[in-house]
Amino acid sequence: MVKTGAASNKSQGNKNEQKKLKTSDGSKRKKVVRRNSQGDKENLPECVQKTNGPKRKREPLEPTSNISDHYPKKKRAVSTKSELYSMSNRPLGYCLIVNNFNFEGTLQLRNRTGTDKDKDDLTRVFEKMAFKVEVRDDLQASDIQNVLKEFAERDHSQMDAFACCILSHGEKGSVLGIDGKPVPIRELTNLFANCHTLVNKPKLFFIQACQGNEAQQGVWMADGQENTTEERTFEEDSHTATSHSVPIEADFLIGIATVEYHKAFRHKTDGSIFIQELCNQLESGCPRKEDIHSILTKVNSIVSSKILQGHKQMPEVRYTLTKALVLPMK
């Protein structure tokens, strides 16, 4: 009986202790709840304390575009090497000049007087740009194809570019041999599109030839804008138009003296207006490290501003260059 009474007393004591613990925990929780319900300001954080003053008027949100950036922006590192064609090799590349003067074997085409001035100036300028210049005079249509094929098959691995200047009569999308037969410009450029040692290197073609028989008319301009007048004698590098086109592959630039269907003009002694202005702008722009696109834009602007025998001439540049091209100049 004694043992039983002791066990019962012990169990009763455990129950009382558990009840005390529950009571103490519950009282604490009640106190915490009571304090919060009373809104004791001393125990509340500042951000939730109530104020008896007037409510602050909410101002409209400011556009994010007007908010200054407190964090300095990182400048993007520009790698000029990846954005410019390499022009470090010497010689820089071959420059082929096809100079067709003598068209006496044809019935409707005259000799191209003044073309030797273009040839001499192109030779001087491209040699100053570190090109190795080679001139071919008075080529028939088949000869033009053969000589360009010869250059396309050469090893250009130790060079950075190729240039070709063709001075002749022409028609839409083609140049003419001295036999009067057309050579599509597309066929000539395709030869170099397949040249493995010129892959990813600029291939430049400058063509002085008409692209049709139409004379380009001027348009009225606003007061204060004037055209440069040309009263000297010019001839046309023209022929009948056909349906050839001039598509090009990657890393090509083709500068043509005039847009399709129209005539290009050449002075009898001073050379063609397009080639002469091209030489002028290369000599002035290359030493200032201007890229070829900027230079040819100036050529377009100056040539198109002139009046030639009462007509206009608008050069055209087509290119698929994938980098900026800055040609060197000695």
**Which residues are identified as catalytic?**
169, 210
CA R_g for the chain? 41
The encoded tokens of residue 29 equal: 């929780």
Would you tell me how many other CB atoms lie within 10 Å of the CB of residue 191? 16
Strands 174-176 and 170-171: antiparallel
Whether a cis peptide bond, with omega within 30° of 0, leads into 72 is no
Measured CA to CA, the distance from residue 123 to residue 159 in angstroms comes to 18
> For helices 292-304 and 273-285, what crossing angle results, to 10°?
140
Beta bridge partners of 324: 84
Measured CA to CA, the distance from residue 170 to residue 184 in angstroms comes to 10
Q: Cβ(174)–Cβ(242) under 8 Å? A: yes
Phi, psi of 257 (to 5 degrees): -60, -25
